[in-house]
Amino acid sequence: MTSSPTGSAARIAVLVYNDCANDSRVLKESGSLRDEGYEVRIIAVERRELGRMAELIPLREGLQLERVPEFTSERLLPQLAPLWRGLISHGTGAGDDTDAKGGIDHRARPRPRLDRARLQGLRLLRGMGERAFRTLALGTYWVNATRAGLRLSPDAVHANDANTLVPAMAIRALSRRPVGIIYDSHELWRHRNVRSDRLLAPLVEAIVESIGIRQADGVITVSPSIAHWLRTTYNLDQMPTLVRNVPLADGPPDRATGVLRERAGLSATDKVIAYGGRITTARGIEETIAALPHLSADVHFVLLGYGEAAALAEVEELAAEHGVSERVHLVGAVAPDEVAHALADGDVAVVHVRPICLSYRYALPNKLFESIRAGLPIAAADLPDMRAVVEQLEVGEVFQGSSTEDLAHALREILEAPERYRRAARAAAPTLTWEQEIRGMRAMYRRVLAEVRAASGR
């Protein structure tokens, strides 16, 4: 165990700009740091609409989760909050009556249809308001996370993604003793999937990451391609440490632990295409639904995961459009550490990320490794890092992501003879464990904390 300059266990502040309820990577990393003997506090942000309030929660001995207050219009200017909600309501469409959450209020009286110029003006105003709100929300987190970090007086700060680099640097600058910084890039931040009409934000993000990554004492990322991009772009002395999103070691896969068939009401003879993870766009859901009409009628698509109500509705609408509503099943979510077990009664997993941005092209999603841990054959999109894993381990087939026919062909080929892929997945699973994956991160922390101790003169 590495101690702090005061002689006690080293304290680590883990910064993340979400509520950390379902962030399996942050929770696994923080738990592993605690297992190393460090005192770890995750500094996240509250999400009041989800009931995740600002508070300090002990997760287990030596590991805490602190959610700092989020920005809300009610807190800043209570008298303007109704006006903001009304602006959102008017901006959703021409003549619709909507409630504060964006749903239609059928009890409201019809109002006159807005003319095109006024509607465009309202939408422009709404867009400006949303951008201002997001900026204020992030800035509020920066201030509150900095304060929380300074109260902890950490020996090192673990900054998850570039939107936490500002408070990480502020904590170091305002601390009375040396503080190490670890930058953990979960995606290629400057080329992630965001709206293309942002003007100032890309420049600010480039400046923040450029400064922050050079101040960091260690850099971690999730795929070889992102590691190479970071080193080349920022001229780093060393390649970032690779920590892929692989599952915790929890024994060999067992089909009996699977929940897909029971939740979807399917029989043992039905064929199951498994999906595990967040239900949203650009993750292969649309392509898989489009491929179903090209497969036999006993092939079903079962989605295990969480998503916004609008995203779930879009899945159902798309299934209806393709005439496969009876073969597409939304079966809810399980806890992050139960995903691999829950997927185990599937027959094949589709792992697809539509490369609409460079970060997606370089993706190496945790669902790939969870599916391998579940013992499932993989139908993977032809992206460089995913292809490398699938072909090296021989656990599945790679298809061209833009072609529904290619995906259907890969699924048919796997479903006709799945056992060789299953054997390869079972053989690979024991080598793809979180405990082995984080050896580099552990060594990095030992080095960084030793440097902090030396700089403190202890």
**Is the pLDDT assigned to residue 20 strictly greater than 70?**
yes
| Predicted local distance difference test score (pLDDT) of residue 107 | 41
| Predicted local distance difference test score (pLDDT) of residue 233 | 98
User: Is 305 exposed, middle or buried (CB count within 10 Å of its CB: 0-12, 13-18, 19+)?
Assistant: buried
| Predicted local distance difference test score (pLDDT) of residue 337 | 82
Residue keyed to tokens 């649309």: 286
Supply the mean pLDDT for the chain. Answer: 89
| Single pTM value for the model | 0.86
pLDDT tens by residue, 315-337: 999 999 999 999 999 999 998 88
**Is the pLDDT assigned to residue 95 strictly greater than 60?**
no
Mean pLDDT computed over 287-292: 96
Q: Tokens for 190, please give them.
A: 């400057």
d(CA 310, CA 349): 24
103 pLDDT tier (thresholds 50, 70, 90) = very low
13 pLDDT tier (thresholds 50, 70, 90) = very high
Q: How many CA atoms lie within 13 A of 370 on its CB side?
A: 28
**Is the pLDDT assigned to residue 112 strictly greater than 70?**
no
Q: Which of 398, 452, 345, 456 is nearest to 13 (CA)?
A: 452
| Predicted local distance difference test score (pLDDT) of residue 105 | 41
Q: Tokens for 44, please give them.
A: 């996240």
Residues 63 and 40 sit within 8 Å (Cβ to Cβ): yes
Helix segments in 51-115, DSSP class H? 73-76, 81-91
User: Is 451 exposed, middle or buried (CB count within 10 Å of its CB: 0-12, 13-18, 19+)?
Assistant: middle
| Predicted local distance difference test score (pLDDT) of residue 91 | 43
| Predicted local distance difference test score (pLDDT) of residue 254 | 84
109 pLDDT tier (thresholds 50, 70, 90) = very low
- Residue with the larger pLDDT of the pair 129 and 268: 268
108 pLDDT tier (thresholds 50, 70, 90) = very low
Q: Tokens for 293, please give them.
A: 């009409």
Residues 290 and 399 sit within 8 Å (Cβ to Cβ): no
| Predicted local distance difference test score (pLDDT) of residue 421 | 97
